[in-house]
Structure 1
Amino acid sequence: MKMARHLAVSVFICLLSLGVSYPLIKGKPDDKGSNRLHINETNTNATDPADRCAEEGFGAMTLDDQGVMHYFRDSFVWTGFRGKAQYINETWPGLTGPVDAAFRIHNKEQPQLHQRTYVFKGSRVWSFFEGRPVSGYPRPISQEFPGVPDNLDAAVECHSGECKTDSVIFFKGGKVYIYSPHEVPPVKERRWSALGNCTAAVRWLERYYCFKGTNFTRFDPVSGEVLSPRLLDTRDYFVSCPGRGHGEAAMRNATFASIKNRCSGRPFEAFSSDDKGRTYAFRGGWYFRVDSSKDGWHAWPLNHTWRTLQGPVDTVFNWENKMYFIQGSQVIIYLTDQIYVPVLGYPKSLQEELGLTEVDAAFTCPLSSELYVIKGNKLQMVDLKKTPRVPGEEKVIAHTQVDSAMCNTHGIYLFQGPVYYHYLNVGQLLTASQWPKPGNISVNFFDC
């Protein structure tokens, strides 16, 4: 029997309901920014222009190509959750503040442009990659982004699948300009009256945020619909400020902190990888997006992505653009095309859906309908294409217990405690008489 995992999480209901977390940086859960010139090392005076907690908020925000968040205001820039003020021209060569807008472009079809950071000021745009200015910049905005106005208020990239195509959303004076270079016309003008104008905007972990001074809200990048129940304060979520922070009492709870800390060594209840290469790790009612390290590896409550899902999960697997969650004796399914939409008629019982009563771990390999289920030291195959679904013959494997399992283009991974075991395919798993050399989950999956 799989160990009981359903921890008491009621004390954290306020965190779950808001679904917003701190934007920590890859490999740096206690980031203090870069080691360049620091200004105002101990300042807490909100009237000081070099104070990241000042009432003015930020004029622009963006992630760079390394997944590090940058906050711009006047002549200064702050790096990361706890970064100190630095002069913009000290860290962004050739650029002085204030800047109007910034974003990190997403364009996999043109690798020479992909992951560049663009910064806007007046009628010109600068481009940077790996901390260095790109040759040929600055350029006129009208030349780089035809149809987009000068003197912008904010800008944010939108990825294909979240928008129709890879696009950039520009804000100016209450109007929205959606720049899609592969469409005709390339610029579409909108008014999102519910959202209003943004003084800064950023995409982080597939979510879109509009900032107005120190306040911010989450929004739909296609419709402009406001998705946050109320305005939130940047100083409680995006930057560290004295005496502020969302859920500080809960964060002091050692168990809760270890659940949200990807490097804690605490076991994960489930791992899953889909045909699009998205990989998730699940622990205690929270999840980590493992494959998007450049957006920061950070824990999110399940219902922030899967809106009706709460509490720990036992097993997760994917098949035909659907994501299956097993919680106890129930199965819940979500469509995965663009956003995760619950499939009508679920949850259903595990027996009704898969012909099983208990599962320790389960996995499907890319583009395959064969679901492999592990219970104790037994492996069974269920063909998901068949109706009704009937588990096949039980076969013995070398492992007597696993927490979770996953299969991707690199092979099969069995997870147990803080380590994992890698097999090239199901045949190797079935014929192995002893375990392969274990790997460290925190080190090899989370870069701890």
Structure 2
Amino acid sequence: MNVLTTTLCLCLALVACHHKHCSSGSVDIAEEELDRCKGLEMDAVTVNEDGVLVFFKGDQLFKGFHGKSELSNGSYEELDDIHSLDHVDAAFRMSFNESNKHVSLFFFLDHMVFRYIHEKLVAGYPQKISEAFPGIPEHLDAAMECPKPVCENDTIIFFKGDEIYYFDVDTKAVMVKEIPAMPNCTSALLFLGQSYCFFGTQFVQFDPKTGAIHGRWPKEAREYFMRCPAFGEESVHVDRERCSHVHLDAVTSDDAKSIYIFRGHHYLSMDKVKATSRAGTIESEFKEIHSELDAAFAFQGHLYMMKGDHVFAYKSGEPPAPVDGYPKTVKEVLGLDGAIDAAFVCPGDKVAHIFQGHSVYEVNMTSSTLPREAVFDELMALFKKVDAAMCGETGVDLFVGSHFYHFDSTKLMFRARSLPEPHLVSQGLLGCDH
């Protein structure tokens, strides 16, 4: 059979499948593949039993942060059984009240609710929403679980228009609120302990009990919940700063588990808890510094940044806030003359380790007497110069060029007489594929 004949047969097969869902292997082929990076407003979002995000749009779904769309009924076959139903209005995962045996996924379509365990419809479903969740309206906008202690009781939160419904799973009591500060959520999600409300292509993080929104919101979903490297100027910054092999100027991890990476005029902040990244110019976030840091470290809720013979200090947060009285000279804060190459403070420690060439000094950061005293600690035998350094719960990382070297502790770092295995910064720290 030649190529033309094969193509014609395939086209005829697709025509025969029109208005039906044709299967190819274990995943159904969508009639028109959707591109989540073109600004789709998702109908619903949830986390499945394996902890993978699932986004719904029309009769299709996306699994994970990247990948192609597939038909929803390829995974959840019965969603197509009632043809008057259009799309998934809302979805949530119930990980509580299940006798610790199963995790259920609930999908809401018009006036019906479907319940699945490992992509198998639970007996007795679908049901009317009014039967399964008495007091909850039909044609919902969004839904999410809110287990204890995030909420006072194990609760399902439903969204419709301006109203938010709190459904107590144990008592089936319903409380209705209107929270003016909250946008009208078209989908909602509890993910890694945080609550998110999506609308359009944007989202906010909120307190599920009060609806309070703190910090700088909204943000773009394509920057955080989808891998869209070609989207927007900020996404270009994120992709470039993550995957560049240019050496780092400074790196540190704050008390909130965020890593700050500085390179030239740009910075990259990575939230290790939420698995999100954000990038921009140093001047946009740290106006007093402008660009090109020498070193940085975090201590007791503050970020200390060295540039030339000055130290700048910011309160950790979003956005970081300048500390009154700064900048101060390096001599005042760290007891040293000249520029700093790298610095770190280990979690729970009070000592800053300061690198100048081969020499490493200790500075007690709890000392209130300025200038502080820098005490010579050790000579760094392995490197002539360290570009950046960071200490975390698993040990110390020293950054030289495009690589970093891990030591399980500060003592082992000083005692080492041979280099440990080098790791590419772009791969080992930032999750790039090269």
In 1, the alpha carbon distance for the partners of 2:130 and 2:60 equals 26
**Contact map agreement 2:115 2:122 (CA 8 A) in 1:** no
Partner of 2:18: none
Match of 2:3 in 1: none
What residue in structure 2 maps to residue 415 of structure 1?
A: 399
1:154 CA displacement: 1.5
Partner of 2:187: 200
Aligned match of 1:100: 89
Give the aligned residue type for 1:390: E
Counterpart secondary structure, 1:414: strand
Residue 432 of structure 1: how far off its partner (Å): 2.6
Question: Which residue pairs with 1:22 in the alignment?
Answer: none
Count, aligned residues = 388
- Relative contact order (C-alpha < 8 Å, sep 6+): which is higher? 1
**Equivalent residue number for residue 19 of structure 1:** none
- Where 1:430 maps in the other structure, the secondary structure is helix
Distance 1:429 1:219, change over 3 A: closer
Partners of 2:37 and 2:231 within 8 A in 1: no
For structure 1, list consecutive stretches of 5 or more residues without a partner in the other structure: 1-33, 44-49
Secondary structure at the aligned position of 1:367 is classed as coil
1:390 matched to 2:381: no
Using the TM superposition, give the Cα deviation of residue 72 of structure 1 relative to its aligned residue in structure 2, in angstroms.
1.2
Q: What amino acid is aligned across from residue 178 of structure 2 in structure 1? A: R
Please tell me whether the aligned partners of residues 38 and 84 of structure 1 are also in contact (alpha carbons under 8 angstroms).
no
Distance 1:51 1:291 in 2: 27
1:88 to 2:68 alignment = no
- SS state of the match for residue 426, structure 2? helix
> Counterpart of 1:247 in 2: which secondary structure?
helix
Structure 1 residues 199 and 276, CA gap change in structure 2 (3 angstroms): closer
- SS of the residue aligned with 1:259? helix
Change over 3 Å in CA distance of 1:205–1:281 after alignment to 2:
farther
Query: Alpha carbons of 1:363 and 1:73: their partners in 2 closer, same or farther (altered >3 Å)?
Result: same
Q: Secondary structure at the match of 2:427?
A: helix
Report if the CA contact (8 A) 1:290-1:446 is conserved: no
3-state SS, counterpart of residue 392 of structure 1 = strand
Report the identity percentage: 26
Q: Secondary structure at the match of 2:28?
A: coil
Q: Does residue 1:331 correspond to 2:318, yes or no? A: no
Question: What's the secondary structure of 1:387's corresponding residue?
Answer: coil
Match of 2:4 in 1: none
Equivalent in 343, 346, 349 of residue 328 of structure 2 = 349
Task: Look up the match of 1:246.
Answer: 232
Q: Is 1:39 aligned to 2:30, yes or no? A: yes
The alpha carbon displacement at 1:88 in A equals: 0.8
Q: CA deviation at 1:414?
A: 0.7
Higher strand share: 2
Alignment of 1:272-311 (within 5 A): 272-274=252-254, 277-284=257-264, 285-289=266-270, 291-292=272-273, 298-301=277-280, 311=291
Aligned equivalents of 2:328, 2:119: Cα separation in 1: 55
CA distance in structure 2 between the aligned counterparts of 1:305 and 1:159, rounded to whole angstroms: 38
Aligned amino acid, residue 200 of structure 1? S
Deviation at 1:332, TM superposition (A): 2.0
* Coordinate RMSD, CA, aligned: 5.2
Q: CA deviation at 1:233?
A: 8.4
Alignment-derived partner of residue 15 in structure 2: none
Q: Does structure 1 residue 259 correspond to structure 2 residue 240?
A: yes
Question: Is residue 169 of structure 2 the alignment partner of residue 190 of structure 1?
Answer: no
Equivalent-residue separation in structure 2 for 1:106 and 1:303 (angstroms): 41
Alignment partner of 1:406 out of 390, 407, 410: 390
Classify 1:441/1:192 alpha carbon distance in 2 versus 1 (closer, same or farther; 3 Å).
same
Task: Select 1:155's aligned residue among 134, 143, 164.
Answer: 143
Tell me the TM-score normalized by structure 1: 0.65
Distance 1:333 1:153, change over 3 A: same
Name the residue aligned to 1:375.
356
* Deviations 1:179-207, CA, capped at 9 Å, x for gaps: 7999x999764323354422224578998
Partners of 1:126 and 1:137 within 8 A in 2 = no
Q: Deviations over 1:146-177 (max 9, x none)?
A: 98766531235789999999987542221134
Q: Per-residue deviation at 1:383? A: 0.9
2-structure distance, mates of 1:149, 1:304: 48
| Post-superposition CA distance 1:256-291 (Å, at most 9, x none) | 57633x344333333333456554544452324263
Cα offset for 1:219?
Answer: 5.8
Pair 1:99–1:205, CA change in 2 (3 A): same
Distance 1:315 1:113, change over 3 A: farther
Offset of 1:62 from its aligned partner?
4.0
SS at match of 1:171: strand
Structure 2: distance between partners of 1:224 and 1:162? 14
What SS does the corresponding residue of 2:27 show, helix, strand or coil? coil
Matched, 1:322 2:302: yes
* Structure 1 SS opposite 2:374: coil
Contact 1:280-1:290 at 8 Å conserved across structures: no
